[in-house]
């Protein structure tokens, strides 16, 4: 992923537009795409912000963390429950649609691992 363009460039472009230059001509002057200039100026006018938005990171785990105690309780009650059964429970009980990978990441954050049953023997290789 590329890094965001500098704050200085953003401020200079916005200042040029505020001084009467069009977004497209300011974009050409500063060497950025016209759509980029339009978005920067629009965000400046609506929110008063010129700094780039944060990149990356997890912005959705809070949805799952809100139900963490319930999910961990389900696993305590039913140790052989599958990820797909947990997903189905969340949708039925709360209307929350999530992928099974989201449930897996929640369990991983809480230190839950699923090991193969050591008493089960592997199939013999041919």
Number of domains in the chain: 2
* Residue whose pair of structure tokens reads 């959705």 in the numeric block: 60
Choice between 57 and 26, residue whose per-residue pLDDT is larger: 26
pLDDT over threshold 80, residue 22 = yes
Residues 68 and 43 in one domain: no
Counting beta carbons within 10 angstroms of the beta carbon of residue 22, is it exposed (0 to 12), middle (13 to 18) or buried (19 or more)?
middle
Cα separation, 20 vs 40, in Å, equals: 15
Q: Examine the pLDDT at 1 and tell me if it is beyond 60.
A: no
Is the entire prediction scored with pTM above 0.75?
no
Neighbours of 90 (CB within 10 A): 21
> Do 66 and 43 share a domain, yes or no?
no
Do 71 and 42 lie in a common domain? no
Question: Quick one: 19 and 43 in the same domain?
Answer: yes
- Tell me which residue range forms the domain holding 73: 61-109
**Based on the domain organization, do 74 and 105 belong to the same domain?**
yes
pLDDT of residue 114: 64
pLDDT for 126 equals 53
pLDDT, one tens digit per residue, over 104-115 is 999 999 988 766
Residues 74 and 97 in one domain: yes
Give residue 39's pLDDT: 96
Residue at 22 is within a domain: yes
Q: In this structure, is residue 65 part of a structural domain?
A: yes
**% of residues, the chain, pLDDT over 90:** 64
Q: Is the pLDDT of residue 61 over 80?
A: yes
With respect to residue 115, please indicate whether it lies within any of the assigned structural domains.
no
């Amino acid at each position: 992923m590329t890094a965001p363009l500098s704050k200085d460039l953003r401020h200079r472009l916005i200042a040029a537009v505020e001084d009467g230059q069009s977004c497209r001509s300011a974009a050409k002057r500063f060497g950025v795409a016209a759509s980029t200039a339009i978005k920067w100026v629009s965000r400046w006018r609506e929110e008063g912000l010129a700094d780039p938005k944060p990149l990356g990171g997890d912005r959705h785990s809070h949805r799952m963390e809100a139900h963490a105690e319930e999910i961990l309780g389900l696993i305590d009650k039913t140790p052989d429950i599958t990820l797909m059964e947990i997903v189905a429970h969340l949708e039925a009980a709360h209307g929350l649609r999530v992928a099974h990978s989201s449930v897996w990441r929640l369990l991983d954050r809480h230190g839950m691992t699923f090991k193969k049953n050591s008493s089960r023997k592997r199939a013999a290789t041919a």
